[in-house]
Structure 1
């Protein structure tokens, strides 16, 4: 999981120990963008100064450069927000991440027989970035690029399990908790209880909560540069409790292997 805003508050500003001022400025600019994302995408200069430890003149200079490049924009209230040019970078990065994940998803399909997915937390939503379908004639299909609310999905629970309860409550307040089926969790208290179970077990489930007749098992990808989860999904008649006991160790192992690839910035 990515560092939280609280963790970043106590961390020194990113930057190489040695190297040119240009390299240091680049590292600092990316650090500021990440801090903006952690803060919800919009911040004031004083907030950035407090969390990064950089002096206000330095932050102001870096933000002017980012604004001129289109990666940040200044709002009418004088605060700064992430700019639209980042969307193109994010979409390209998501496609690349999906291509890296596909061999690992294929292994999940080979060992479980069910459809395998990779999903990311993008703002308040879950977005599916890769899928390898089951070879069964009756199988689950989720379109790559589809966005769903996290409260009704296994991947959503896996992605939010390490998030502080107050942040989860705030997210649920923003999104609402509409019922996709009669088994969808529709209260913050119920969802927080489910997250506690995920932390205890080390995996998440979606038991007919997003779609009637479908069960899903999901695990977070440990130490991923952005919140990511892997899942397998299939008909409830095949993805039984007994099957779950067999599938979870495979999911965990593949997630650990994928984590190593992401930490090294891609396959060798």
Structure 2
């Protein structure tokens, strides 16, 4: 009995590893690549993937490559609604303290998606639709999330999505951006200084704890959210991110119990 339970947990863990590798690939992926990156035998991967295909969590293409399946959309939507509910009070407190729009964003394949937002109360404010996917290289949330990843994974995501020019400040050289990531990781925050939209500045920090690849940010007109405000804003963002991470961990323990 105990051995069967242990085998079941191991299979579950391996299935999640394969799903995460497919998500990181940002598109189609072959069994050979899954085997290379997971270290699992090809026979084991075939068995797990067949189960995932049967449940609708993975889809096999005519090319015999695999992609994430449609049943994950429902899980993702439910998860996003839950995260948005938990994040709302923390984002509201940031808006009260800083005065600018506060956002929760998550890594979504080779892009970043906005999962929750509380807008500034200023008549002129930044607004991004919840559910919108944006590039990683030109956003504060994107850069701070890239800085949490192994360099080879960050490079792969940039190559997959591309690095289009958004403004005259947009960094489009992958080597230049990758060279900035260790500094972003060390300081614990990233700044989008008019790189996504001219005249708009965004400051972002990662949500700690490994619950998901998520980040919290505030964004506003560069004239109001000056670079001299970064040292004041970052501790407030980090406090909100830590509080959200603690709440998510506690919620996970209650559900598991």
Pairing partner for 1:116 from 102, 110, 133:
102
What are the Cα deviations for residues 153-203 of structure 1, in whole angstroms up to 9, with x where unaligned?
111111101223333233222222222111111211331233233123221
Look up the SS of the partner of 1:89 in the other structure. Answer: helix
Q: Which residue of 2 aligns with 1:214?
A: 200
Equivalent residue for 1:37, pick from 23, 29, 38: 23
Runs (5+) with no aligned partner, structure 1: 1-15
Please state whether the residue corresponding to 2:232 is helix, strand or coil.
helix
Which residue in 1 is equivalent to 2:179?
Answer: 193
Deviations 1:199-246 (A, max 9, x none): 232210011111122111000111232210000011111211222111
Instruction: Compute the displacement of 1:266 (Å).
Output: 5.4
Counterpart of 1:237 in structure 2 is 223
Kindly indicate whether residue 49 of structure 2 is the aligned counterpart of residue 63 of structure 1: yes
Match in the other structure for 2:64: 78
Q: Report if aligned partners of 2:25, 2:109 keep a CA contact under 8 Å in 1.
A: no
Cα distance between partner residues in 1 of 2:236 and 2:175: 30
Q: Normalised by the size of structure 2, how large is the TM-score?
A: 0.85
- Which residue is equivalent to 2:139? 153
RMSD: 2.7
Q: Tell me if the contact between 1:105 and 1:132 (Cα under 8 Å) persists in the aligned partners.
A: yes
CA shift for structure 1 position 50: 6.4
Is 2:211 the partner of 1:225? yes
1:41-98 alpha-carbon deviations (Å, 9 max, x no partner): 6555566566667666554443333222211223334343321221222122122212
Is contact 2:113–2:133 with CA below 8 Å preserved after alignment?
A: yes
Secondary structure of the residue that 2:219 maps to in structure 1?
A: strand
In the TM superposition, what whole-angstrom CA distance separates every residue of 1:109-139 from its partner, at most 9, and x where no partner exists? 1111111001111011111110001112221
Deviation at 1:141, TM superposition (A): 0.9
- Structure 1 residue corresponding to 2:189, chosen from 203, 207, 213: 203
TM-score (norm 1): 0.81
Do 2:26 and 2:160's aligned partners in 1 also have CA atoms closer than 8 Å?
no
Contact persistence 1:205–1:215 (CA under 8 A): yes
Shift of 1:104: 0.9
